[in-house]
Structure 1
Amino acid sequence: MATLDVPGARLHYEVRGQGPLVALVGAPMHAESFAPLAELLADGYTVLTTDPRGINRSPVDDPDQDSTPPVRADDLSRILAHLDAGPAVVLGSSGGAVTALAFAQAHPEQVHTVIAHEPPLVELLEDRDKLQAGTDDQIATYLAGDVVGAWAKFMAQANIHFPDGVLEMMFGGERDPQQVVDERRWFAHEMSATIRWQPDLAALRSSGVRFVVGIGSDSAEQLCDRASRALAAELGVEPTMFPGGHIGFVDDPGAFAPVLRAVLREGVALDGGVG
Protein backbone atom coordinates (compact mmCIF):
# COMPACT_ATOMS: atom_id res chain seq x y z
CA MET A 1 0.00 0.00 0.00
CA ALA A 2 1.25 3.49 -0.82
CA THR A 3 0.10 7.01 -1.64
CA LEU A 4 0.98 9.44 -4.39
CA ASP A 5 0.44 13.19 -4.30
CA VAL A 6 -1.11 14.46 -7.54
CA PRO A 7 -2.64 17.86 -8.37
CA GLY A 8 -5.57 18.31 -6.00
CA ALA A 9 -5.47 14.88 -4.37
CA ARG A 10 -3.50 12.19 -2.56
CA LEU A 11 -4.08 8.81 -4.23
CA HIS A 12 -4.08 5.51 -2.38
CA TYR A 13 -2.86 2.56 -4.44
CA GLU A 14 -1.82 -1.05 -3.87
CA VAL A 15 0.51 -3.35 -5.81
CA ARG A 16 0.48 -7.16 -5.62
CA GLY A 17 2.39 -9.93 -7.33
CA GLN A 18 4.96 -10.06 -10.11
CA GLY A 19 4.74 -10.17 -13.88
CA PRO A 20 3.07 -8.05 -16.57
CA LEU A 21 1.14 -5.12 -15.17
CA VAL A 22 -2.65 -5.31 -14.88
CA ALA A 23 -4.50 -2.31 -13.41
CA LEU A 24 -7.99 -2.88 -11.98
CA VAL A 25 -9.89 0.40 -12.05
CA GLY A 26 -13.28 1.40 -10.66
CA ALA A 27 -15.30 4.59 -10.20
CA PRO A 28 -16.58 4.97 -7.57
CA MET A 29 -15.57 1.40 -6.64
CA HIS A 30 -12.28 1.39 -4.77
CA ALA A 31 -9.36 -0.97 -4.22
CA GLU A 32 -10.98 -3.09 -1.52
CA SER A 33 -13.67 -4.28 -3.94
CA PHE A 34 -11.03 -5.50 -6.39
CA ALA A 35 -8.81 -7.13 -3.76
CA PRO A 36 -10.13 -10.71 -4.08
CA LEU A 37 -9.70 -10.66 -7.88
CA ALA A 38 -6.27 -9.04 -7.50
CA GLU A 39 -5.15 -11.82 -5.16
CA LEU A 40 -6.22 -14.45 -7.69
CA LEU A 41 -4.18 -12.75 -10.43
CA ALA A 42 -1.09 -11.97 -8.37
CA ASP A 43 0.58 -15.33 -9.03
CA GLY A 44 1.29 -14.31 -12.62
CA TYR A 45 0.81 -10.55 -12.82
CA THR A 46 1.72 -7.34 -11.09
CA VAL A 47 -1.73 -6.09 -10.11
CA LEU A 48 -2.42 -2.42 -9.39
CA THR A 49 -5.57 -1.34 -7.56
CA THR A 50 -6.47 2.19 -6.51
CA ASP A 51 -9.00 4.31 -4.67
CA PRO A 52 -10.21 6.97 -7.16
CA ARG A 53 -9.71 10.56 -6.08
CA GLY A 54 -12.19 11.62 -3.42
CA ILE A 55 -13.17 8.02 -2.62
CA ASN A 56 -12.25 6.06 0.53
CA ARG A 57 -8.51 6.59 1.21
CA SER A 58 -7.82 9.10 -1.60
CA PRO A 59 -8.66 12.53 -0.17
CA VAL A 60 -9.03 15.62 -2.36
CA ASP A 61 -8.05 19.20 -1.56
CA ASP A 62 -11.38 20.58 -2.80
CA PRO A 63 -14.36 18.36 -1.91
CA ASP A 64 -16.51 20.33 -4.36
CA GLN A 65 -14.32 19.50 -7.37
CA ASP A 66 -15.99 17.19 -9.88
CA SER A 67 -14.32 13.87 -10.69
CA THR A 68 -14.28 13.54 -14.48
CA PRO A 69 -12.97 10.68 -16.63
CA PRO A 70 -10.06 12.78 -18.00
CA VAL A 71 -9.01 13.79 -14.47
CA ARG A 72 -9.14 10.18 -13.26
CA ALA A 73 -7.25 9.10 -16.39
CA ASP A 74 -4.52 11.61 -15.58
CA ASP A 75 -4.35 10.20 -12.05
CA LEU A 76 -3.83 6.69 -13.42
CA SER A 77 -1.17 7.96 -15.80
CA ARG A 78 0.70 9.57 -12.91
CA ILE A 79 0.61 6.38 -10.85
CA LEU A 80 2.00 4.31 -13.73
CA ALA A 81 4.72 6.90 -14.36
CA HIS A 82 5.56 6.90 -10.64
CA LEU A 83 5.86 3.11 -10.69
CA ASP A 84 7.87 3.26 -13.93
CA ALA A 85 5.59 0.48 -15.15
CA GLY A 86 3.78 -0.34 -18.33
CA PRO A 87 2.46 -0.41 -20.88
CA ALA A 88 -0.35 -1.88 -18.82
CA VAL A 89 -3.45 -3.91 -19.29
CA VAL A 90 -6.28 -1.89 -17.74
CA LEU A 91 -9.50 -3.55 -16.67
CA GLY A 92 -12.06 -0.88 -15.89
CA SER A 93 -15.49 -1.62 -14.49
CA SER A 94 -18.55 0.62 -14.85
CA GLY A 95 -17.36 4.20 -14.26
CA GLY A 96 -13.84 2.78 -14.11
CA ALA A 97 -14.31 1.47 -17.65
CA VAL A 98 -15.00 5.04 -18.72
CA THR A 99 -11.79 6.06 -16.90
CA ALA A 100 -9.90 3.33 -18.78
CA LEU A 101 -11.20 4.53 -22.14
CA ALA A 102 -10.28 8.13 -21.31
CA PHE A 103 -6.84 6.88 -20.26
CA ALA A 104 -6.31 5.06 -23.56
CA GLN A 105 -7.48 8.13 -25.45
CA ALA A 106 -5.08 10.49 -23.65
CA HIS A 107 -2.14 8.16 -22.91
CA PRO A 108 -2.07 5.33 -25.48
CA GLU A 109 1.66 4.85 -24.95
CA GLN A 110 0.99 3.69 -21.38
CA VAL A 111 -1.62 1.06 -22.13
CA HIS A 112 -1.45 -2.17 -24.10
CA THR A 113 -5.01 -3.45 -23.67
CA VAL A 114 -8.18 -1.90 -22.27
CA ILE A 115 -10.87 -4.25 -21.00
CA ALA A 116 -13.93 -2.01 -20.65
CA HIS A 117 -16.39 -3.97 -18.52
CA GLU A 118 -19.90 -2.51 -18.79
CA PRO A 119 -19.14 1.22 -19.22
CA PRO A 120 -22.25 3.44 -18.82
CA LEU A 121 -21.60 5.35 -22.04
CA VAL A 122 -25.02 6.94 -22.34
CA GLU A 123 -23.79 9.27 -25.09
CA LEU A 124 -23.62 6.32 -27.49
CA LEU A 125 -27.33 5.50 -27.12
CA GLU A 126 -30.22 6.95 -29.13
CA ASP A 127 -32.23 7.72 -25.99
CA ARG A 128 -29.33 9.64 -24.44
CA ASP A 129 -31.40 12.77 -23.71
CA LYS A 130 -33.98 10.80 -21.73
CA LEU A 131 -31.26 8.94 -19.85
CA GLN A 132 -29.38 12.12 -19.00
CA ALA A 133 -32.59 13.70 -17.71
CA GLY A 134 -33.16 10.59 -15.63
CA THR A 135 -29.67 10.85 -14.19
CA ASP A 136 -30.23 14.50 -13.30
CA ASP A 137 -33.43 13.47 -11.50
CA GLN A 138 -31.59 10.75 -9.58
CA ILE A 139 -28.97 13.23 -8.44
CA ALA A 140 -31.55 15.81 -7.41
CA THR A 141 -33.50 13.16 -5.50
CA TYR A 142 -30.40 12.04 -3.64
CA LEU A 143 -29.24 15.54 -2.78
CA ALA A 144 -32.74 16.33 -1.50
CA GLY A 145 -32.26 13.57 1.08
CA ASP A 146 -34.23 10.68 -0.44
CA VAL A 147 -31.43 8.13 -0.62
CA VAL A 148 -33.56 5.04 -1.17
CA GLY A 149 -35.71 6.89 -3.71
CA ALA A 150 -32.62 7.97 -5.65
CA TRP A 151 -31.29 4.41 -5.77
CA ALA A 152 -34.70 3.11 -6.81
CA LYS A 153 -34.68 5.52 -9.77
CA PHE A 154 -31.07 4.61 -10.55
CA MET A 155 -31.81 0.89 -10.62
CA ALA A 156 -34.97 1.37 -12.65
CA GLN A 157 -33.09 3.31 -15.33
CA ALA A 158 -30.30 0.73 -15.29
CA ASN A 159 -32.96 -1.99 -15.68
CA ILE A 160 -31.62 -3.81 -12.62
CA HIS A 161 -34.37 -5.31 -10.49
CA PHE A 162 -34.44 -6.28 -6.82
CA PRO A 163 -37.18 -7.91 -4.76
CA ASP A 164 -39.39 -5.60 -2.72
CA GLY A 165 -37.66 -4.27 0.36
CA VAL A 166 -34.08 -5.03 -0.72
CA LEU A 167 -33.16 -1.44 -1.58
CA GLU A 168 -34.46 -0.32 1.82
CA MET A 169 -32.21 -2.93 3.44
CA MET A 170 -29.21 -1.88 1.33
CA PHE A 171 -29.52 1.90 1.53
CA GLY A 172 -31.78 2.68 4.49
CA GLY A 173 -31.10 2.69 8.22
CA GLU A 174 -27.63 2.54 9.79
CA ARG A 175 -24.82 2.38 7.25
CA ASP A 176 -21.05 2.52 7.16
CA PRO A 177 -20.10 6.23 7.38
CA GLN A 178 -17.37 5.98 4.73
CA GLN A 179 -19.77 4.28 2.33
CA VAL A 180 -22.22 7.14 2.80
CA VAL A 181 -19.51 9.75 2.18
CA ASP A 182 -18.35 7.97 -0.98
CA GLU A 183 -21.91 7.50 -2.19
CA ARG A 184 -22.68 11.18 -1.79
CA ARG A 185 -19.56 12.12 -3.73
CA TRP A 186 -20.60 9.75 -6.53
CA PHE A 187 -24.01 11.34 -6.83
CA ALA A 188 -22.88 14.95 -6.35
CA HIS A 189 -19.55 15.08 -8.16
CA GLU A 190 -18.91 11.98 -10.29
CA MET A 191 -21.99 10.41 -11.84
CA SER A 192 -22.99 13.15 -14.25
CA ALA A 193 -19.51 13.73 -15.69
CA THR A 194 -19.01 9.99 -16.10
CA ILE A 195 -22.20 9.17 -17.97
CA ARG A 196 -21.91 12.30 -20.12
CA TRP A 197 -18.35 11.62 -21.25
CA GLN A 198 -18.20 11.01 -24.99
CA PRO A 199 -15.21 9.06 -26.30
CA ASP A 200 -13.29 10.19 -29.35
CA LEU A 201 -13.98 6.99 -31.23
CA ALA A 202 -11.67 7.82 -34.12
CA ALA A 203 -8.81 8.44 -31.70
CA LEU A 204 -9.47 5.16 -29.90
CA ARG A 205 -9.63 3.20 -33.15
CA SER A 206 -6.31 4.65 -34.33
CA SER A 207 -4.53 4.44 -30.96
CA GLY A 208 -2.96 1.01 -31.43
CA VAL A 209 -4.52 -0.11 -28.15
CA ARG A 210 -6.33 -3.45 -28.06
CA PHE A 211 -9.91 -3.01 -26.85
CA VAL A 212 -12.00 -5.70 -25.22
CA VAL A 213 -15.59 -4.78 -24.33
CA GLY A 214 -16.81 -6.94 -21.47
CA ILE A 215 -20.44 -7.68 -20.59
CA GLY A 216 -21.78 -9.74 -17.71
CA SER A 217 -23.70 -12.82 -18.80
CA ASP A 218 -26.49 -11.83 -16.41
CA SER A 219 -26.73 -8.23 -17.67
CA ALA A 220 -28.93 -8.79 -20.72
CA GLU A 221 -31.02 -5.73 -21.63
CA GLN A 222 -29.61 -3.65 -18.80
CA LEU A 223 -28.41 -0.11 -19.54
CA CYS A 224 -24.72 -1.02 -19.42
CA ASP A 225 -25.34 -4.04 -21.66
CA ARG A 226 -26.83 -1.69 -24.25
CA ALA A 227 -24.04 0.87 -23.90
CA SER A 228 -21.33 -1.79 -24.05
CA ARG A 229 -22.76 -3.29 -27.23
CA ALA A 230 -22.90 0.18 -28.77
CA LEU A 231 -19.24 0.75 -27.87
CA ALA A 232 -18.20 -2.64 -29.26
CA ALA A 233 -19.96 -1.87 -32.54
CA GLU A 234 -18.20 1.49 -32.80
CA LEU A 235 -14.81 -0.10 -32.13
CA GLY A 236 -15.44 -3.01 -34.49
CA VAL A 237 -15.06 -5.76 -31.88
CA GLU A 238 -17.33 -8.49 -30.62
CA PRO A 239 -18.31 -8.20 -26.94
CA THR A 240 -16.64 -10.64 -24.55
CA MET A 241 -18.96 -12.26 -22.04
CA PHE A 242 -17.88 -12.54 -18.41
CA PRO A 243 -19.60 -14.50 -15.63
CA GLY A 244 -22.18 -12.76 -13.47
CA GLY A 245 -23.67 -9.33 -13.78
CA HIS A 246 -22.47 -5.75 -13.51
CA ILE A 247 -20.09 -6.56 -10.66
CA GLY A 248 -19.47 -10.23 -11.38
CA PHE A 249 -15.81 -9.89 -10.34
CA VAL A 250 -17.01 -8.93 -6.84
CA ASP A 251 -19.84 -11.44 -6.54
CA ASP A 252 -17.74 -14.40 -7.72
CA PRO A 253 -14.08 -13.53 -8.40
CA GLY A 254 -13.24 -17.22 -8.63
CA ALA A 255 -15.46 -17.57 -11.71
CA PHE A 256 -14.43 -14.21 -13.19
CA ALA A 257 -10.66 -14.72 -12.95
CA PRO A 258 -10.29 -17.64 -15.41
CA VAL A 259 -12.19 -15.77 -18.11
CA LEU A 260 -10.05 -12.69 -17.50
CA ARG A 261 -6.89 -14.81 -17.69
CA ALA A 262 -8.06 -16.19 -21.05
CA VAL A 263 -8.56 -12.65 -22.35
CA LEU A 264 -5.07 -11.73 -21.16
CA ARG A 265 -3.52 -14.82 -22.82
CA GLU A 266 -5.33 -13.96 -26.04
CA GLY A 267 -3.67 -10.56 -25.89
CA VAL A 268 -0.25 -12.24 -25.78
CA ALA A 269 -1.12 -14.38 -28.79
CA LEU A 270 -2.39 -11.41 -30.78
CA ASP A 271 0.10 -8.73 -29.78
CA GLY A 272 2.98 -10.38 -27.93
CA GLY A 273 4.87 -9.32 -24.88
CA VAL A 274 2.25 -8.23 -22.40
CA GLY A 275 -0.61 -9.97 -20.61
Structure 2
Amino acid sequence: MPLRLTPTFRDHLAATDRTLYGGWICSGSPVVAEIMAGAGLDWLLIDMEHAPNGLESTLTQLYAVSGYSSTPVVRVPAGETVIVKQVLDLGAQNILVPMISTPEEAKAVAAMTRYPPAGVRGVGSALARSARWNRVEGYLGNDAAHVSVYVQIETVEGVANARAIAETPGVDGVFVGPSDLAASMGLIGQQTHPDVVATVKRAFAGIATAGKPVGVNAFDAAAARDYAAAGARFILVGADVALLARASEKLAETYLADTDRAPRASY
Protein backbone atom coordinates (compact mmCIF):
# COMPACT_ATOMS: atom_id res chain seq x y z
CA MET A 1 0.00 0.00 0.00
CA PRO A 2 1.44 3.44 -0.92
CA LEU A 3 2.49 5.60 2.02
CA ARG A 4 2.13 9.33 2.54
CA LEU A 5 4.86 11.42 4.16
CA THR A 6 4.10 14.00 6.84
CA PRO A 7 3.65 17.65 5.84
CA THR A 8 6.85 19.64 5.53
CA PHE A 9 7.86 22.62 7.65
CA ARG A 10 7.01 24.75 4.62
CA ASP A 11 3.46 23.39 4.80
CA HIS A 12 3.18 24.17 8.51
CA LEU A 13 4.39 27.74 8.00
CA ALA A 14 1.92 28.25 5.16
CA ALA A 15 -0.96 26.91 7.27
CA THR A 16 -0.63 29.47 10.07
CA ASP A 17 -0.23 33.21 10.45
CA ARG A 18 1.42 33.00 13.88
CA THR A 19 5.07 32.62 14.81
CA LEU A 20 6.20 29.01 15.29
CA TYR A 21 8.39 28.44 18.34
CA GLY A 22 11.03 25.74 18.43
CA GLY A 23 13.66 23.99 20.52
CA TRP A 24 17.25 23.23 19.63
CA ILE A 25 18.43 19.62 20.11
CA CYS A 26 22.20 19.63 20.59
CA SER A 27 22.78 16.75 23.01
CA GLY A 28 22.90 14.00 20.41
CA SER A 29 20.61 11.93 22.62
CA PRO A 30 17.41 10.35 21.24
CA VAL A 31 16.03 10.25 24.79
CA VAL A 32 16.48 14.00 25.19
CA ALA A 33 15.11 14.52 21.68
CA GLU A 34 11.94 12.66 22.62
CA ILE A 35 11.61 14.65 25.83
CA MET A 36 11.87 17.87 23.81
CA ALA A 37 9.37 16.55 21.26
CA GLY A 38 6.85 15.80 23.98
CA ALA A 39 6.98 19.34 25.33
CA GLY A 40 4.57 20.66 22.70
CA LEU A 41 6.86 23.03 20.79
CA ASP A 42 5.97 23.73 17.17
CA TRP A 43 9.28 22.57 15.75
CA LEU A 44 12.66 21.12 16.66
CA LEU A 45 16.13 21.66 15.23
CA ILE A 46 18.30 18.54 15.23
CA ASP A 47 21.78 20.01 14.93
CA MET A 48 24.65 18.38 13.07
CA GLU A 49 26.80 21.51 12.91
CA HIS A 50 27.58 22.26 16.56
CA ALA A 51 26.50 18.98 18.15
CA PRO A 52 27.95 15.45 18.37
CA ASN A 53 25.66 14.15 15.65
CA GLY A 54 26.50 11.91 12.73
CA LEU A 55 24.17 10.10 10.36
CA GLU A 56 23.30 7.29 12.76
CA SER A 57 22.49 9.52 15.73
CA THR A 58 20.52 11.91 13.56
CA LEU A 59 18.45 8.97 12.30
CA THR A 60 17.72 7.77 15.84
CA GLN A 61 16.57 11.25 16.79
CA LEU A 62 14.29 11.45 13.76
CA TYR A 63 12.80 8.15 14.92
CA ALA A 64 12.49 9.47 18.50
CA VAL A 65 10.50 12.57 17.55
CA SER A 66 8.41 10.99 14.80
CA GLY A 67 5.54 10.11 17.11
CA TYR A 68 4.99 13.71 18.21
CA SER A 69 3.48 16.80 16.63
CA SER A 70 6.66 18.92 16.64
CA THR A 71 8.14 19.22 13.15
CA PRO A 72 11.84 18.25 12.96
CA VAL A 73 14.31 20.30 10.94
CA VAL A 74 17.87 18.97 10.52
CA ARG A 75 20.72 21.46 10.33
CA VAL A 76 23.49 19.89 8.26
CA PRO A 77 27.10 20.72 9.15
CA ALA A 78 27.79 22.32 5.76
CA GLY A 79 26.30 22.88 2.34
CA GLU A 80 27.97 19.90 0.70
CA THR A 81 26.26 17.71 -1.87
CA VAL A 82 27.10 14.35 -0.30
CA ILE A 83 26.08 15.44 3.21
CA VAL A 84 22.77 16.88 2.03
CA LYS A 85 22.04 13.74 0.00
CA GLN A 86 22.74 11.47 2.95
CA VAL A 87 20.61 13.49 5.38
CA LEU A 88 17.70 13.60 2.95
CA ASP A 89 18.01 9.86 2.42
CA LEU A 90 17.71 9.40 6.20
CA GLY A 91 14.18 10.74 5.81
CA ALA A 92 14.77 14.32 6.91
CA GLN A 93 12.12 16.33 5.09
CA ASN A 94 13.28 19.72 6.29
CA ILE A 95 16.89 20.88 6.23
CA LEU A 96 18.72 24.02 7.28
CA VAL A 97 22.10 24.80 5.71
CA PRO A 98 24.42 27.14 7.64
CA MET A 99 26.77 29.90 6.51
CA ILE A 100 25.11 31.01 3.29
CA SER A 101 26.22 34.49 2.26
CA THR A 102 25.51 34.74 -1.47
CA PRO A 103 22.69 33.83 -3.85
CA GLU A 104 25.12 31.57 -5.71
CA GLU A 105 25.66 29.53 -2.55
CA ALA A 106 21.89 29.39 -2.00
CA LYS A 107 21.35 28.22 -5.59
CA ALA A 108 23.89 25.44 -5.10
CA VAL A 109 22.13 24.30 -1.91
CA ALA A 110 18.74 24.21 -3.64
CA ALA A 111 20.22 22.03 -6.39
CA MET A 112 21.56 19.57 -3.80
CA THR A 113 17.99 18.85 -2.68
CA ARG A 114 16.48 18.14 -6.12
CA TYR A 115 16.86 15.20 -8.46
CA PRO A 116 18.10 15.79 -12.02
CA PRO A 117 17.41 17.58 -14.23
CA ALA A 118 16.33 20.22 -11.69
CA GLY A 119 19.27 19.47 -9.37
CA VAL A 120 22.13 17.16 -8.51
CA ARG A 121 20.74 14.95 -5.74
CA GLY A 122 21.83 11.34 -6.18
CA VAL A 123 19.01 8.86 -6.76
CA GLY A 124 18.67 6.18 -4.10
CA SER A 125 15.00 6.15 -3.15
CA ALA A 126 14.74 2.36 -3.32
CA LEU A 127 17.49 2.10 -0.70
CA ALA A 128 16.50 4.91 1.65
CA ARG A 129 14.03 5.94 4.32
CA SER A 130 13.31 9.17 2.42
CA ALA A 131 10.86 7.39 0.09
CA ARG A 132 10.23 4.66 2.65
CA TRP A 133 12.08 2.23 0.38
CA ASN A 134 9.91 3.16 -2.62
CA ARG A 135 6.68 2.84 -0.69
CA VAL A 136 5.90 6.56 -1.22
CA GLU A 137 4.23 6.61 -4.60
CA GLY A 138 5.71 9.13 -7.05
CA TYR A 139 8.50 10.26 -4.73
CA LEU A 140 11.09 10.67 -7.49
CA GLY A 141 8.85 12.75 -9.70
CA ASN A 142 7.48 14.83 -6.86
CA ASP A 143 10.59 15.29 -4.76
CA ALA A 144 10.18 19.05 -4.25
CA ALA A 145 6.85 18.51 -2.51
CA HIS A 146 8.45 16.24 0.08
CA VAL A 147 11.41 18.44 1.08
CA SER A 148 11.60 22.00 2.41
CA VAL A 149 14.88 23.90 2.27
CA TYR A 150 16.12 26.69 4.53
CA VAL A 151 19.41 28.53 4.46
CA GLN A 152 21.10 30.41 7.28
CA ILE A 153 22.49 33.93 7.00
CA GLU A 154 25.26 34.50 9.55
CA THR A 155 27.52 37.19 8.09
CA VAL A 156 27.40 40.86 7.16
CA GLU A 157 27.78 39.82 3.53
CA GLY A 158 24.78 37.54 3.90
CA VAL A 159 22.67 40.37 5.30
CA ALA A 160 23.61 42.56 2.32
CA ASN A 161 22.46 39.74 0.03
CA ALA A 162 19.41 38.73 2.09
CA ARG A 163 16.80 39.56 -0.55
CA ALA A 164 18.69 37.84 -3.37
CA ILE A 165 19.30 34.76 -1.19
CA ALA A 166 15.62 34.57 -0.26
CA GLU A 167 14.55 34.96 -3.90
CA THR A 168 16.57 31.91 -4.93
CA PRO A 169 14.25 29.28 -6.46
CA GLY A 170 14.07 26.22 -4.26
CA VAL A 171 14.79 28.12 -1.03
CA ASP A 172 11.69 28.02 1.16
CA GLY A 173 12.87 30.36 3.92
CA VAL A 174 15.85 31.99 5.57
CA PHE A 175 17.10 31.67 9.14
CA VAL A 176 19.24 34.45 10.61
CA GLY A 177 21.93 33.48 13.14
CA PRO A 178 22.72 36.37 15.51
CA SER A 179 25.70 34.64 17.16
CA ASP A 180 27.92 34.33 14.11
CA LEU A 181 26.52 37.55 12.72
CA ALA A 182 27.65 39.35 15.87
CA ALA A 183 31.10 37.80 15.46
CA SER A 184 31.30 38.96 11.84
CA MET A 185 30.49 42.47 13.07
CA GLY A 186 33.28 42.43 15.65
CA LEU A 187 30.78 42.00 18.49
CA ILE A 188 31.32 38.33 19.35
CA GLY A 189 29.12 37.10 22.21
CA GLN A 190 26.86 40.17 22.01
CA GLN A 191 23.82 38.82 20.20
CA THR A 192 21.51 41.40 21.76
CA HIS A 193 23.76 44.38 21.06
CA PRO A 194 21.62 47.12 19.43
CA ASP A 195 23.76 47.08 16.28
CA VAL A 196 23.39 43.31 15.96
CA VAL A 197 19.63 43.47 16.48
CA ALA A 198 19.35 46.25 13.89
CA THR A 199 21.35 44.18 11.40
CA VAL A 200 19.18 41.13 12.02
CA LYS A 201 16.10 43.22 11.33
CA ARG A 202 17.70 44.59 8.17
CA ALA A 203 18.01 40.98 7.00
CA PHE A 204 14.36 40.45 7.95
CA ALA A 205 13.34 43.32 5.68
CA GLY A 206 15.18 41.94 2.68
CA ILE A 207 13.80 38.45 3.17
CA ALA A 208 10.26 39.77 3.64
CA THR A 209 10.54 41.73 0.39
CA ALA A 210 11.22 38.42 -1.33
CA GLY A 211 8.05 36.99 0.21
CA LYS A 212 9.81 34.20 2.11
CA PRO A 213 9.41 33.37 5.83
CA VAL A 214 12.28 34.38 8.10
CA GLY A 215 13.48 32.68 11.27
CA VAL A 216 15.96 33.49 14.02
CA ASN A 217 17.25 32.09 17.30
CA ALA A 218 16.66 34.10 20.47
CA PHE A 219 17.00 32.46 23.87
CA ASP A 220 16.25 35.76 25.61
CA ALA A 221 12.45 36.01 25.94
CA ALA A 222 12.35 39.77 25.37
CA ALA A 223 14.47 39.41 22.23
CA ALA A 224 12.27 36.58 20.95
CA ARG A 225 9.13 38.66 21.40
CA ASP A 226 10.79 41.62 19.71
CA TYR A 227 11.83 39.52 16.72
CA ALA A 228 8.33 38.01 16.48
CA ALA A 229 6.89 41.52 16.39
CA ALA A 230 9.42 42.39 13.67
CA GLY A 231 8.13 39.58 11.47
CA ALA A 232 9.99 36.41 12.44
CA ARG A 233 7.82 33.45 11.46
CA PHE A 234 9.85 30.77 13.25
CA ILE A 235 12.09 31.22 16.28
CA LEU A 236 14.33 28.90 18.29
CA VAL A 237 13.73 29.88 21.91
CA GLY A 238 15.83 27.34 23.81
CA ALA A 239 18.25 24.42 23.55
CA ASP A 240 18.20 21.10 25.37
CA VAL A 241 21.76 21.44 26.67
CA ALA A 242 21.26 25.03 27.80
CA LEU A 243 18.04 24.11 29.62
CA LEU A 244 19.82 21.25 31.38
CA ALA A 245 22.84 23.38 32.25
CA ARG A 246 20.82 26.20 33.78
CA ALA A 247 18.40 23.88 35.61
CA SER A 248 21.22 21.77 37.08
CA GLU A 249 23.02 24.94 38.23
CA LYS A 250 19.80 26.10 39.89
CA LEU A 251 19.43 22.73 41.56
CA ALA A 252 22.96 22.92 42.94
CA GLU A 253 22.41 26.48 44.10
CA THR A 254 19.20 25.53 45.87
CA TYR A 255 20.66 22.64 47.85
CA LEU A 256 24.30 23.59 48.24
CA ALA A 257 24.03 27.30 49.01
CA ASP A 258 24.62 26.75 52.74
CA THR A 259 27.54 24.38 52.36
CA ASP A 260 31.24 25.13 52.07
CA ARG A 261 31.07 24.34 48.36
CA ALA A 262 31.85 27.31 46.16
CA PRO A 263 28.86 28.55 44.15
CA ARG A 264 28.70 27.53 40.53
CA ALA A 265 29.15 30.13 37.85
CA SER A 266 26.07 31.13 35.90
CA TYR A 267 26.36 32.11 32.26
TM range (shorter): 0.3 to 0.5
Q: Which has the larger radius of gyration?
A: 2
Instruction: Between the two structures, name the one with larger relative contact order (CA 8 Å, sep ≥ 6).
Output: 1
- Which TM-score applies when normalising by structure 1? 0.34
